[in-house]
Structure 1
Amino acid sequence: MKKTVIADISLLFVAFVWGVTFVIVQNAIQFIPPHLFNGIRFLIATLCLITFLRRDNRIFTKRLIVSGVFLGFFLFLGYAFQTVGLLYTTSSKAGFITGLSVMAVPLLAMVILKERPRPIIFLSCLLGTTGLYLLTLGDMSNMNIGDLFVLLCAVAFALQIIFTDLFSKHFQALPLTIIQLFTVSILSFASSWLFEEIEAINYLIILNPNILFAFMITSIFATAAAFYIQTTYQRYTSATKVALIFTMEPVFAAITAYLFNEERLVFSGVIGCLFIFIAMIITELPIRRKEI
């Protein structure tokens, strides 16, 4: 099996995990402030990945550390804005707005990476965005401050995808991911100390089975495994294609919200999911024709 195919499947799995955790995170931050939640989540993920690290300090070069911190900064902004936004908006709407990064990535790729995406990519991005809109068509009439936070999150995630594409080709995936996630943890704890009333928090709530479950799923699967997979396999594809694959995240988020939070998935949402799926498929067609 080609590396590009393995990369696409792996990144689609990442989108699935992230989509499923939308509801889990939204439920957890009703009990734990969002920045503190992210700090604990990313610290656990960092410690998990460190256990797989070889005892060779030479891999942590100055360039790798700077690159990891750079990626971590944008990732922190994305998760900070998204998690706070989920306090005020719905899972499905947050999924749609986050997915708007699919339109930003090809434009940023032209400016930052000097890439010229194939014309079919822009058609795919348009289809994907249309699908994202249809997915939450009945949920977009009442915009609020949470939606603005999630929009800023979309921009931050787009930049994280762009720079992951740049750095993943030059550094080992595991140490780069560790530095990135540790940066997010430190910045999240700092934000919690600055902006959240942590003195009033009942820390025994962390021992609640539902909260422990949320930390286990988000830390191990949606953070440690997910970002290691992204950093490992994004080098075998393009930043724009990664963004298109990640448009499946809100599809999985909407399905999960429907199953567990009883957020209704109307007919337009089903059509939106179909549009997103088609957008992903047509990005492959020109390549396959050329190979034939």
Structure 2
Amino acid sequence: MKKTFLADGSLLFVAFIWGATFVIVQKAIQFLPPHLFNGTRFLLAALLLSLFLKKKTKISFTIESVKSGMFLGFFLFLGYAFQTIGLLYTTSSKAGFITGLSVMIVPLLSVWILKEKPRSIIFSGAIIGAIGLYFLTVGDMSGLNLGDLLVFFCAIAFALHIIFTSKFSKNHDALPLTIVQLLTVSLLSFFSSIIFEQSSISFESFINKDVLIALAITSVFATALAFLIQTKFQQFTTAARVALIFAMEPVFAALTAFIFINERLSGNGLIGCFFIFTAMIVTELPDIRQSKWFNLKQKHGM
């Protein structure tokens, strides 16, 4: 019980860190290309965590842990690539809430990947979330844009990362598993930067104040610390519960955007956020057919 409580509290702290850094990242990628930013950020985080590796400890890299870390890193790369590029075309608040759709996607994909028993309430949540997404994008005055679509793909990638983290974190040490996945994200990001961003790279971009601040904060707190916590504590809870906790990330993102850059959602945008947040909660409600009240009613022929 104590481990579960500690895990939930730690993962909520991770959601706060991620939500609070939306605005910081959005400012930084105006000067430094997204893939190059992510490559640098994740490399710094991996190097930082590597400092905690000691030869005398029992922590070691195995073939299976490296494979698992690379697998997790691939989905993590897709998530951050879609999210960071998406932030070039949409707002921090909208990106935060669309990313939050992963809380609805996780239970849906868990049925297929983790072979969990499907619940009708999950599909109800999917419909509610789709309605919310409509109001948040098409229903918003700004309309549906490329950034919204990219961030939605990011939500799918993050959902897969959460699911497979639950699967692999129980079998491997958290530190090496985290380092491998961060290095994987870094290498894939640098490779993507060479292909897509080479013409827009300049040394002046690295010494920009907003970029340096963003790299310092995100590499230490939002990457090294956050993913080490997730990998360490997710083994003590379920993937669906982790996704629900991470649903607080867009709330923190919107709050941060409002405080620091006075970014406000329209009326339709707020309605969309309400529907999406409702979907996040609904997907974790127990199926009525599994409830004690329903079973008792069936037993007495009511």
| Class of the TM-score when normalised by the shorter of the 2 chains | 0.7 to 0.9
Deviation, 1:276, is: 3.7
Deviation, 1:260, is: 1.6
Q: d(CA) in 1 for partners of 2:89 and 2:17?
A: 22
Deviation, 1:197, is: 2.5
Alignment correspondent of 1:242: 242
Alignment correspondent of 2:145: 144
Alignment correspondent of 2:40: 40
For residues 96-127 of structure 1, what are the alpha-carbon distances to aligned partners after superposition, in whole Å with 9 as ceiling and x for unaligned?
22111122111111111112377777777777
CA separation of 1:274 and 1:217: change in aligned 2, threshold 3 A: farther
Deviation, 1:258, is: 1.2
Alignment correspondent of 2:7: 7
Alignment correspondent of 1:228: 228
- Sequence identity, in percent? 61
CA separation of 1:274 and 1:206: change in aligned 2, threshold 3 A: same
Q: d(CA) in 2 for partners of 1:5 and 1:123?
A: 28
Alignment correspondent of 2:298: none
Gap regions ≥5 residues in structure 1:
none
Alignment correspondent of 1:193: 194
Gap regions ≥5 residues in structure 2:
293-302
CA separation of 1:227 and 1:58: change in aligned 2, threshold 3 A: closer
Task: Give aligned pairs, total.
Answer: 287
Alignment correspondent of 2:178: 177
For residues 21-51 of structure 1, what are the alpha-carbon distances to aligned partners after superposition, in whole Å with 9 as ceiling and x for unaligned?
1111110000000000000000000011101
| Structure 1 residue identity aligned to 2:49 | L
Question: What does 1:1-292 align with in structure 2 at a 5 Å threshold?
Answer: 2-55=2-55, 59-116=60-117, 139=140, 142-198=143-199, 200-265=200-265, 269=270, 272=273, 276=277
Secondary structure in structure 2 of the residue aligned to 1:264: coil
The answer to whether the Cα contact below 8 Å between 1:11 and 1:233 also exists between their aligned partners in 2 is yes
The answer to whether the Cα contact below 8 Å between 2:3 and 2:236 also exists between their aligned partners in 1 is yes
For residues 240-273 of structure 1, what are the alpha-carbon distances to aligned partners after superposition, in whole Å with 9 as ceiling and x for unaligned?
1111111111111111111122211567739956
Greater displacement, 117-126 / 225-234: 117-126
Choose 1 or 2 for highest CA Rg.
2
The answer to whether the Cα contact below 8 Å between 1:14 and 1:229 also exists between their aligned partners in 2 is yes
**Pairwise CA RMSD:** 3.0
| Structure 2 residue identity aligned to 1:19 | G
For residues 201-259 of structure 1, what are the alpha-carbon distances to aligned partners after superposition, in whole Å with 9 as ceiling and x for unaligned?
33133223322111111101000111111101111111111111111111111111111
Q: d(CA) in 2 for partners of 1:69 and 1:9?
A: 27
Greater displacement, 140-149 / 18-27: 140-149
Secondary structure in structure 2 of the residue aligned to 1:59: coil
Q: d(CA) in 2 for partners of 1:189 and 1:203?
A: 15
Q: d(CA) in 2 for partners of 1:278 and 1:285?
A: 13
| Structure 2 residue identity aligned to 1:149 | L
